[in-house]
Amino acid sequence: MMARPARAGFVPPPPANRFPEYPASWYLFGSTRELRRGPVTKDLLGRSIVAFRTQGGRLTVMDARCAHLGADLGRGRIVGENIRCPYHGWEYAADGRCVGLPDGSTPPAFARQRVYPSVERHGFVFFFNAARCASRLNEAQPLFPLPFFFDEWPEECVAGRPFRFVADCPWYLMAANGFDLEHFRSVHDRTLVAQPEVDCPASFARRMSYTAEVTGDSVFDRLLRRFAGRVVHVTITSWGGPYILVTGTFARARSLMIIALQPRPEGQTLAEVIVLARRSRFAAARLLQPLGLWVRRLFTQGFMRDDTDRLGGIRYSPHTLIPADRLMIEFFDWLADLPQEPSELATVGRPFHRDVGQPV
């Protein structure tokens, strides 16, 4: 799918009500280590969601409030391949259906939980949220598989410990940050050495690629120039909006970064950042990889610290954006047009396929 053609004249970007509150995309639930002691409930995307592993090892993510009286399934326990509600003992299978009541009677038809497609990768649990429920709650399918970097393979990479911060701005402004050229100059001291390129390399993906010179005087920038290189080629790919993959290729180093955004109440956004690196092929070098990941994490935090300081309080104002904001405006256009459920795929006027460049 090609990028949308340039606008004829200047037209304001879409109004804020065109952006879904919780867009259809992949989200980070947390570390798989959290599930070792049993089910875990978290308040995510305006609701309670529970993740658990059955005794057979199947990973499941579903709505946490029991269909009976709303008890928290995260306080229940795993019984074979089911999760048992702590309040009245209703049991739910991994597909969300209630399969057992304590008195042995047939479960009522309403007794089923919404189940979210989920993937375990690099020690983390990711789940797909559709903006609206599927017609049958236990048949929800992701609009696209969990993406990875186009020129990398998940099994050949290792991930470090994530860091997180809360930005005082809506999720779609945070996502558009990667398509805002002016902020790279003014906030990050990056000088572009060529015009950026924007394309849509796969359905539900929009990518910006640019090459820049590291010109800042911070400690991190001086160390980057010394040990990694003066020039960096960056790609920023937004998948469905809040799931973002970033690569930074220097002469002597390469960085991989997952930014998982989560809309929060009152116009805030939680950003969780996972730094990755290629797995070393040599046993001795693998012993030093945790240190290498820690260094990458430290530099990534240093780079993003200015964003966290300066994003606070910004709000979407389509009528005050100007022609110089063209790439960001085109990103907002693309974002507002994304399908939010399978039934919309045939009505958007352009093809959408489930291709992500790499296998799940």
Residue-level pLDDT at 132: 55
More confident call, 173 vs 282: 173
Residue-level pLDDT at 346: 54
Residue-level pLDDT at 101: 96
Report the DSSP pairing between strands 268-278 and 254-264: antiparallel
Decide if pLDDT at 129 tops 50.
yes
Same structural domain for residues 332 and 185?
yes
Tokens of 177: 């940050």
More confident call, 242 vs 141: 242
In the structure, what pLDDT confidence band is assigned to residue 290 with cuts at 50, 70 and 90? confident
In a domain? residue 180: yes
In a domain? residue 234: yes
pLDDT digits (tens, 9 = 90+) for 155-174: 999 999 999 999 999 999 99
- For the chain, what is the mean pLDDT? 87
In a domain? residue 178: yes
Residue-level pLDDT at 216: 80
Mean pLDDT of 314-330: 91
Mean pLDDT of 120-132: 89
Residue-level pLDDT at 62: 97
Residue-level pLDDT at 9: 58
Same structural domain for residues 174 and 323?
yes
CA distance 81 to 92: 9
Mean pLDDT of 287-295: 85
More confident call, 32 vs 141: 32
More confident call, 146 vs 299: 146
Tokens of 296: 């990458």
Residue-level pLDDT at 186: 67
Question: Pick from 242, 183, 178: which is nearest to 208 by CA?
Answer: 178
More confident call, 264 vs 352: 264
pLDDT digits (tens, 9 = 90+) for 14-45: 999 999 999 999 999 999 999 999 999 999 99
Same structural domain for residues 297 and 167?
yes
In a domain? residue 192: yes
First to last CA, the chain: 20
pLDDT digits (tens, 9 = 90+) for 62-98: 999 999 999 999 999 999 999 999 999 999 999 999 9
The percentage of the chain sitting over the pLDDT mark of 90, rounded to a whole number, equals 63
Tokens 């796969």 map to which residue?
202
179: phi then psi, degrees, rounded to nearest 5: -115, 15
Tokens of 164: 């997180």
How many residues does this entry show for the chain?
360
Same structural domain for residues 163 and 75?
no
Same structural domain for residues 195 and 236?
yes
Same structural domain for residues 126 and 228?
no
Same structural domain for residues 158 and 305?
yes
Q: How many domains does the chain have?
A: 2
CA distance 163 to 173: 20
Q: Which domain holds residue 166?
A: 154-336
More confident call, 359 vs 192: 192
More confident call, 279 vs 207: 207
Same structural domain for residues 319 and 272?
yes
Residue-level pLDDT at 28: 98
Decide if pLDDT at 303 tops 80.
no
In the structure, what pLDDT confidence band is assigned to residue 193 with cuts at 50, 70 and 90? confident
String of b and e for 47-76 (b: at least 16 CB within 10 Å)? ebbbbbbbeeeebbbbbbbbbbeebbbbeb
Please, what sign has the CA dihedral across residues 310, 16, 14, 347?
Answer: positive
The percentage of the chain sitting over the pLDDT mark of 70, rounded to a whole number, equals 86
In a domain? residue 282: yes
Query: H or E element: which one contains 332?
Result: helix 326-337
333: phi then psi, degrees, rounded to nearest 5: -60, -50
More confident call, 208 vs 286: 208
Sheet of 40-44, strands arranged across: 40-44, 47-53, 59-63, 115-116
Please, what sign has the CA dihedral across residues 240, 153, 124, 167?
Answer: negative
In a domain? residue 329: yes
The last residue of a domain, from among 97, 112, 139: 139
SS (H, E, C) 255-307: EEEEEEEEEEHHHEEEEEEEEEEECCCCHHHHCCHHHHHHHHHHHHHHHHHHH
